[in-house]
Structure 1
Amino acid sequence: MEMFSVMMMVFLIGAAIAVSAIRSLLGAIIVFMVYSLVMAVLWQQLNAPDLAITEAAVGAGITTLLFVFTLKTIRGIGK
């Protein structure tokens, strides 16, 4: 189980760097969503189910929706 956690943490570091480096805003949003889902899995591995559920709902769910709607609105204004 420890090896899985280490691999997920390495993935999180890569995802954090990727969010900063990706030129596409939609791509950055998708990587951020994946980052939040992996964090939820890690919280579950650390026996913190309340934090896992909150991370999945807020980090991957609501925040991603707000980012996508904001991106859609910004692109709609520019036309």
Structure 2
Amino acid sequence: MLLELLLLLISASILVSGVLAVWLDNLLPAMVSAGLASLFAAASYVLLAAPDVAMAEAAIGAGLSTLIFLYAIRKTRTGED
């Protein structure tokens, strides 16, 4: 029962983070929100007893791709004022 409630809460967090990533106008908070959605997905994989998938999602989805996107946003904004 507790596991199902926790999974429901994490699933709602994934949905809210995903909607925020699409809805926000500023790229930096939108990318952070997308990274959070991926991090919540990794947490749900841990709860579903798939630690190998959770580690891959956390490392690649929440970690590496978020850093690459944040670096790209920073590099493209250096010419703007």
TM bucket, shorter chain: over 0.9
In percent, how many aligned pairs have the same letter? 28
Secondary structure of the corresponding residue to residue 5 of structure 1 = helix
Identify which of 34, 37, 42 aligns with 1:35. Answer: 37
Residue equivalent to 1:22: 24
- Residues 1-79 of structure 1: pairs in structure 2 closer than 5 A: 1-78=3-80
| TM-score (normalised: structure 1) | 0.93
Cα deviations by residue, 1:30-68 (Å, 9 ceiling, x for unpaired): 111111111110001111101000000001110011001
**Would you say the 8 A contact 2:15–2:37 is kept in 1?**
no
Q: How far apart are the structure 2 equivalents of 1:24 and 1:18?
A: 11
| TM-score (normalised: structure 2) | 0.91
Unaligned runs of 5+ in 1: none
Unaligned runs of 5+ in 2: none
Q: How far apart are the structure 2 equivalents of 1:30 and 1:11?
A: 14
